[in-house]
Amino acid sequence: MPANPTWRDIVESARADAPDQVAFTFLGSASEGDIACTYRELSDAARAIAAHLVAAGLAGERAVLLYPPGPDYVRALLGCLYAGVTAVPVYAPRPNASYARIEQVLASADAAVLLSSQRTLDTLATTEWGRPIAARARWLATDAIDAADAHAWTETPLDAGTLAVLQFTSGSTGTPKGVMLEHRHLVTNSRMIQRAMDCTPADVGVIWLPPYHDMGLIGGLLQPMYTRCPVWLMSPYTFLQRPLRWLDVMTRVGGSISSAPNFAYELCASRVRPDQLAALDLSAWRLAANGAEPVRADTLRRFADAFAPAGFRASAFFPCYGMAETTLYVSGATPGAGARVLAAERASLGQGQVRAAAPDAADALPLVSSGRPDPDTRVVIVDADSGAPLPAGAIGEILVQGETVAAGYWRRPADSATTFDARIDGEPGSWLRTGDLGALVDGELYVTGRIKEMIIVRGANHYPHDIEATLADLPDGQRPRGAAAFALDAGDGEGLGLVVELDRHQLAADPAPLAAAIRDAVAREHQLQIVRLAFVRPGGIPRTSSGKTQRRLARERLLAGELALASPPANDFELEGSLA
Residues 494 and 516 in one domain: yes
Which amino acid, one-letter code, is at 335?
Answer: P
DSSP letter (8 states) at residue 505? G
Residues 406 and 501 in one domain: no
- The whole-angstrom separation of Cα 416 and Cα 400 is 14
On the question of pLDDT at 448 being above 90, the answer is: no
Residue where a domain terminates, one of 241, 271, 302 = 241
Which pLDDT score is estimated for 544?
63
On the question of pLDDT at 418 being above 50, the answer is: yes
The CATH number of whichever domain residue 509 belongs to comes to 3.30.300.30
pLDDT tens digits, residue range 213-272?
899 999 999 999 999 999 999 998 899 889 999 999 999 999 999 999 988 998 899 889
* Assigned domain for 63 exists: yes
Which amino acid, one-letter code, is at 5?
Answer: P
Give the bridge partners for 212, in sequence order: none
- Residues 6 or more apart whose CB falls under 8 angstroms from that of 25 comprise 34, 35, 36, 37, 230, 231, 232, 233
**Average pLDDT estimate for 335-355:** 92
As to burial, measured by CB atoms within 10 angstroms (0-12 exposed, 13-18 middle, 19+ buried), residue 175 is: middle
Residues 356 and 382 in one domain: yes
**Average pLDDT estimate for 161-166:** 98
Q: Helix-strand-coil percent breakdown of the chain, rounded to 5? A: 35, 25, 40
- The whole-angstrom separation of Cα 74 and Cα 106 is 20
pLDDT tens digits, residue range 3-48?
999 999 999 999 999 999 999 999 987 777 899 999 999 999 999 9
- The whole-angstrom separation of Cα 62 and Cα 318 is 35
Residues 503 and 381 in one domain: no
Which pLDDT score is estimated for 365?
87
Which pLDDT score is estimated for 91?
82
* Assigned domain for 280 exists: no
Task: Evaluate the CA torsion angle 256, 261, 262, 263 in order and state its sign.
Answer: negative
Please tell me which residue, 391 or 346, carries the higher pLDDT value.
391
Which pLDDT score is estimated for 549?
81
Question: Where residue 381 falls among pLDDT bands split at 50, 70, 90?
Answer: very high
* Assigned domain for 292 exists: no
Question: Do residues 394 and 445 make contact, with C-beta atoms less than 8 angstroms apart?
Answer: no
Residues 30 and 117 in one domain: yes
Which pLDDT score is estimated for 95?
67
What DSSP letter does each residue of 133-196 carry, written as one string?
A: HHHHSEEEEGGGS-GGGGGG--PPP--TTSEEEEEEPP-SSS---EEEEEHHHHHHHHHHHHHH
Residues 108 and 228 in one domain: yes
Which pLDDT score is estimated for 359?
87
Question: Where residue 569 falls among pLDDT bands split at 50, 70, 90?
Answer: very low
Three-class secondary structure assignment of 254-293 = CCCEEEECHHHHHHHHHHCCHHHHHCCCCCCCCEEEECCC
Host H or E run for residue 401: strand 396-402
Which pLDDT score is estimated for 490?
77
What DSSP letter does each residue of 310-335 carry, written as one string?
A: GT--GGGEEEEEE-GGGSSEEEE--T
**Average pLDDT estimate for 459-480:** 80
The model carries a pTM of: 0.84
**Average pLDDT estimate for 339-366:** 89
Three-class secondary structure assignment of 158-176 = CCCCCEEEEEECCCCCCCC
Residue where a domain terminates, one of 241, 260, 278 = 241
* Assigned domain for 490 exists: yes
**Segments forming the whole domain that contains residue 166:** 7-241
On the question of pLDDT at 190 being above 80, the answer is: yes
* Assigned domain for 158 exists: yes
Please tell me which residue, 386 or 363, carries the higher pLDDT value.
386
**Average pLDDT estimate for 121-141:** 93
Question: Where residue 547 falls among pLDDT bands split at 50, 70, 90?
Answer: low
Residues 468 and 397 in one domain: no
Which pLDDT score is estimated for 153?
94
Give the bridge partners for 115, in sequence order: 65, 140
Give the β-pairing of 113-116 and 86-91. Answer: unpaired
Which among 560, 506, 556 has a CA at the least distance from the CA of 535?
Answer: 506
Residues 403 and 486 in one domain: no
* Assigned domain for 296 exists: no
Please tell me which residue, 149 or 576, carries the higher pLDDT value.
149
Residues 16 and 137 in one domain: yes
Residues 365 and 419 in one domain: yes
**Average pLDDT estimate for 375-383:** 97
**Average pLDDT estimate for 156-185:** 84
**Average pLDDT estimate for 547-554:** 81
Instruction: Please tell me whether the peptide bond between 375 and the residue prior to it is cis, using omega within 30 degrees of 0.
Output: no
- The whole-angstrom separation of Cα 376 and Cα 184 is 14
What's the CA angle centered on 104, arms 407 and 493, to 5 degrees?
75
Residues 554 and 488 in one domain: yes
* Mean pLDDT, all residues of the chain: 90
Question: Do residues 163 and 86 make contact, with C-beta atoms less than 8 angstroms apart?
Answer: yes
Question: Where residue 570 falls among pLDDT bands split at 50, 70, 90?
Answer: very low
**Average pLDDT estimate for 397-401:** 97
Which pLDDT score is estimated for 96?
67
pLDDT tens digits, residue range 422-442?
999 989 999 999 999 899 999
Residues 95 and 45 in one domain: yes
On the question of pLDDT at 112 being above 90, the answer is: yes
pLDDT tens digits, residue range 294-305?
788 989 999 999
* Assigned domain for 269 exists: no
CB atoms within 10 A of CB 510: 11
Question: Do residues 401 and 431 make contact, with C-beta atoms less than 8 angstroms apart?
Answer: yes
The beta-strand segments (E) located in 403-529 are 422-424, 427-441, 444-450, 455-457, 460-462, 482-489, 494-501
Which pLDDT score is estimated for 310?
98
* Assigned domain for 224 exists: yes
The CATH number of whichever domain residue 43 belongs to comes to 3.40.50.12780
Q: What percent of the chain clears pLDDT 90, i.e. is strictly above it?
A: 67
- The whole-angstrom separation of Cα 452 and Cα 522 is 21
pLDDT tens digits, residue range 54-102?
999 999 999 999 998 899 999 999 999 999 999 999 987 776 677 888 9
On the question of pLDDT at 578 being above 60, the answer is: no
Residue where a domain terminates, one of 402, 423, 450 = 450
DSSP letter (8 states) at residue 67? E
Count structural domains, the chain: 3
